[in-house]
Amino acid sequence: MTFVVKPRVRHPLLPVNELGLTRRDYEGSVSTLCAGCGHDSVSAAIVQACAELSLPPHKFAKVSGIGCSSKTPSYFLSHSHGFNSVHGRMPSVATGANLANRELYCIGVSGDGDSASIGIGQFAHIVRRRINMLYVVDNNGTYGLTKGQFSATNDKGSTSKKGVPNLYEPIDLVSMALQIGASFVARSFSGDKRQLVPLIQAGLMHKGFAFIDVISPCVAFNNHNGSTKSYDYVRDHSERLVSADFIAPGAEITVDYDSGALEDVAMPDGSTLRLRKLDEDYDPRDRIQALTQVQRSAEAGEVVTGLLYMDADAADCHDVLGTPSAPLNALDESVLCPGTEALEGVNAQLR
């Protein structure tokens, strides 16, 4: 396999953001995934989301586990460091990275095998720890790199490419995240960029653990009739519940909405998140309602999408730990080493 460096040519008409950068500045290397893979759409959405937010493209920590989805951090934000770590263990690496430097935007990309099977323990516990990061699962219900085994998110009865039905109950990461304390939970579809990009933006700007489960069809192994993670199935069965649009501080709100009740949420950095509720009775700040809705839709074979739950005021792990505002990795001896005098005090107590 070869490594293809993208030519860095800037089209003169490409729009620039507040930093004077174009979308090209947020891209990564050329994807080696299959043509039509949903994951590439997710990477593209991340590129667009970050460019539109005018975030410095080098101020990210990109982390992933192992699998097709975990390869994608090299396909976006090439000015940032990335870490393709251990299968199922991205959450712990992300936790450490975030503890070391709270100033970086942390994006973790994982898959359904990586997060719902081998890494389900780590997934559960990073949710509990409220690490301030965007955690994206490219969910295709199958093991792509090992050629098409069922994953734990594959629906019972959904069939493999050869027509064999899956016999086991699915694990729903959205329900898990809701249950154990994620302060931002969304589900989207890689084929719905209009919904996904604002969700990524909102998740990045959210302080705390932001989880987006993106149904991202596998064109090679799980995009056939009989699969509930195919492009066709998701298009036919998705039910948009709450859309979100991220509005930068001071920006004019011009987003055009066709219908639904609008609700603005103030974000910690002064920006606004505008929610559009397609069901007026749905309150995305009601965790129990969100859980119920997700379960009910799943029962009906539907896939609810959008920003399902958000607590804009939640504390993150650094709040809980009481760490300083400066990154821990920037502290030097003068702060970290208590010195001789304090050591004499320690000795005195051990006499």
Partner 1 sequence: MTDKATPAVPEGDSVANGVNDRRTSYNDFVIRFANVNGSGSASANGMFAKALFRMGIPVATRNIFPSNIEGLPTWFEVRVSEKGYAGRREGIDLMVAMNAETFAEDVASVVPGGYLLYDNSKELDVRLRRSDINLVGVPISQLVLPEFPNPKHRALFKNIVYVGALSALINIDFDVITGMVSAQFKGKDDLIAPNIHALEIGRHYVLDYLVCPLPIQVRYSNGASDKILVDGNTAAAIGAIYGGATVCAWYPITPSTSLAEAFEQYCNRLRVDENGERNFAIIQAEDELSAMGIVIGAGWNGARAFTATSGPGLSLMTEFLGLAYFAEIPAVLWDIQRTGPSTGMPTRTQQGDLLSAAYASHGDTRHPLLFPSTPNECFDFAVAALDLADRLQTPILVMSDLELGMNDNLADPFTWDDERSYDRGKVLGADDLERIETFGRYLDVDGDGIGYRTLPGTHPEKGAFFTRGTSRDEYAAYTEAPEHYSANMDRLLKKWETARDLVPAPVIEEQGRLIGIVFYGTTALPIPEALDRLLEDGVEVDTMRLRGFPFTDEVREFIDRHEIVFLAEQNRDAQMKTLLVNDLGLDPARIDSVLYYGGFSISADTIYEQVSERLVEYNVPRLRAVGGGGRGTAPRKDREYRP
Helices (H), the chain: 38-53, 68-71, 90-100, 112-116, 120-129, 173-179, 193-205, 231-237, 287-299, 317-321, 333-336, 339-349
Q: Is 262 in the site for partner 1 (CB under 8 A)?
A: no
Contacts of 59 (CB under 8 A, 6+ apart): 80, 103, 104, 105
State in angstroms the smallest separation of the CB of 341 from partner 1.
9
Q: Is 339 in the site for partner 1 (CB under 8 A)?
A: yes
Per the listing, tokens 């430097």 go with 101
Question: Which residue among 93, 133, 185, 290 contacts partner 1 (CB under 8 A)?
Answer: 93
State in angstroms the smallest separation of the CB of 193 from partner 1.
25
Instruction: Please work out the total of residues on this chain that contact partner 1, with binding judged by CB under 8 A.
Output: 66
Give ∠ CA 207-95-75 in degrees, rounded to 5: 85
Instruction: Give, as ranges, the residues between 21 and 80 that touch partner 1 (CB under 8 A).
Output: 29, 56-61, 63, 73-74, 78-80
Question: Which residue among 14, 100, 266, 288 contacts partner 1 (CB under 8 A)?
Answer: 100
For partner 1, the closer of residues 29 and 149 by Cβ is 29
State in angstroms the smallest separation of the CB of 299 from partner 1.
30
Start-to-end Cα distance in the chain: 63
Q: Is 96 in the site for partner 1 (CB under 8 A)?
A: yes
Question: Which residue among 98, 154, 188, 297 contacts partner 1 (CB under 8 A)?
Answer: 98
Question: Which residue among 103, 236, 264, 269 contacts partner 1 (CB under 8 A)?
Answer: 103
Q: Is 91 in the site for partner 1 (CB under 8 A)?
A: yes
**Alpha carbon distances (Å) from 84 to 63, 94, 130:** 6, 11, 22
Give the SS3 label for residue 14. coil
State in angstroms the smallest separation of the CB of 178 from partner 1.
19
DSSP state of 66: S
Q: Is 301 in the site for partner 1 (CB under 8 A)?
A: no
State in angstroms the smallest separation of the CB of 127 from partner 1.
11
Q: Is 92 in the site for partner 1 (CB under 8 A)?
A: yes
Q: Is 198 in the site for partner 1 (CB under 8 A)?
A: no
d(CA 100, CA 327): 6
**Alpha carbon distances (Å) from 118 to 4, 52, 67, 122:** 31, 34, 11, 9
User: Which tokens in the block code for residue 231?
Assistant: 């492009």
d(CA 232, CA 274): 29
State in angstroms the smallest separation of the CB of 198 from partner 1.
25
User: Which tokens in the block code for residue 328?
Assistant: 């821990």
Q: Is 207 in the site for partner 1 (CB under 8 A)?
A: no
Q: Is 253 in the site for partner 1 (CB under 8 A)?
A: no
Q: Is 342 in the site for partner 1 (CB under 8 A)?
A: yes
Neighbours of 303 (CB within 10 A): 24
State in angstroms the smallest separation of the CB of 21 from partner 1.
10
Q: Is 254 in the site for partner 1 (CB under 8 A)?
A: no
Looking only at the bridges linking them, the beta strands covering 209-215 and 133-139 are: parallel
3-class secondary structure per residue, 279-315: CCCCCCCCHHHHHHHHHHHHHCCCEEEEEEEECCCCC
Q: Is 243 in the site for partner 1 (CB under 8 A)?
A: no
Q: Is 99 in the site for partner 1 (CB under 8 A)?
A: yes
Asked if residue 218 lies in contact with residue 229, where contact means CB atoms within 8 angstroms, the answer is yes
Question: Which residue among 6, 10, 81, 235 contacts partner 1 (CB under 8 A)?
Answer: 81
State in angstroms the smallest separation of the CB of 314 from partner 1.
18
Q: Is 86 in the site for partner 1 (CB under 8 A)?
A: yes
Q: Point out which residues bind partner 1 (CB under 8 A).
A: 1-3, 5, 29, 56-61, 63, 73-74, 78-86, 89, 91-101, 103-104, 121-122, 124-125, 129, 318, 321-325, 328-329, 331-333, 335-340, 342-344, 346-347, 350-351
